[in-house]
């Protein structure tokens, strides 16, 4: 086997390891975000249950979903917008080359 193939294999192994670690980090962050959303929802429900007279559990469910879905939706929309901007820049660069 040549040196180039060995270097390619080593680079591929490093890349695969980095991707696995990033996947694990993403999972840990999502679990932490879910846990924080549950805690924030519980605190919100505890504060609002006395004021509104509604039950703790329905308020906890609604508040937890809001605390998890709203920030996630904002991040998703931002990522889509950035991807569209990147795609437009690439298309402009390709059309300028013609």
CA–CA separation, 63 and 50 (whole Å)? 15
Residues of 59-85 as b/e, b for ≥16 C-beta within 10 angstroms? Answer: bbeebbeebbeeeeeeeeeeeeeeeee
Cβ distance 61 to 79 under 8 Å? no
Q: What is residue 25's predicted lDDT score, i.e. its pLDDT?
A: 94
Domain ranges of the chain: 3-97
48-88 residue pLDDT tens: 998 998 999 999 999 999 999 998 899 889 999 999 999 99
pTM for this prediction: 0.67
Q: What is residue 32's predicted lDDT score, i.e. its pLDDT?
A: 93
- Please name the residue that has the structure tokens 């990522």: 79
Cβ distance 63 to 45 under 8 Å? yes
10-30 residue pLDDT tens: 999 999 999 999 999 999 998
């Amino acid at each position: 086997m040549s040196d180039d193939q060995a270097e390619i294999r080593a680079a591929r192994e490093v890349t695969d390891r980095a991707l696995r670690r990033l996947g694990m980090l993403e999972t840990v962050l999502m679990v932490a975000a879910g846990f924080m959303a549950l805690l924030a929802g519980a605190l919100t429900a505890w504060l609002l249950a006395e004021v509104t007279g509604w039950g703790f559990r329905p308020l906890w469910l609604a508040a937890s979903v809001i605390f998890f879905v709203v920030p996630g939706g904002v991040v998703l929309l931002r990522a889509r917008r950035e991807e569209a901007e990147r795609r437009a820049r690439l298309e402009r660069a390709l059309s300028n080359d013609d």
